[in-house]
Chain A
Amino acid sequence: MTVSIQTQTQARDRAAVNVGVLPIVSAIAAGVILIYFTGFAQASQYHDSAHDTRHTLAFPCH
């Protein structure tokens, strides 16, 4: 975050907003993990719980 504070003024001048890379990476990683468990994980408790949703949302399912 120190880096983002330092470059904030610069960023505003370019009409770009200062966004740290780490939060973006964590959001995307968290998204991938959630989608993995609801759509792909084959352990039966995940598969059975998400079964109808997997079919509705057209994830490849059994």
Chain B
Amino acid sequence: MKSNKNGLLIDYEYCTGCFACTVACCQEHGWEAPLSGMKVMEIVQDLPKDKAYLTFLPFPTELCVLCAKRTQKGLDPSCVKHCMANCLTYGNLRELALELEKKPRMVLWSPR
């Protein structure tokens, strides 16, 4: 059964927190700062023995429309196209879900 809904696969292991997605979205949709369809969160995780781990999580906001105009033309959403770490993938949610099994530290996002 093929879903007709698309979404974003976010491989947060490789997100460096460069904000290319955030600004790419502003440019594409003309958002004025601080609005954007993509935010990047910095998460400093506490680990045992006083250790820590730094993660960045690109997060599509309420403003994200998955670049409908672009995807209709067969283009990737602007954040996906410009992601410097190539850690965002746009596609069919069911197909993307299969990718989750292949590699850890990823999340799947479904648009509103």
A and B from one assembly?
A: no
Which A residues are closer than 8 A to B by beta carbons?
A: none
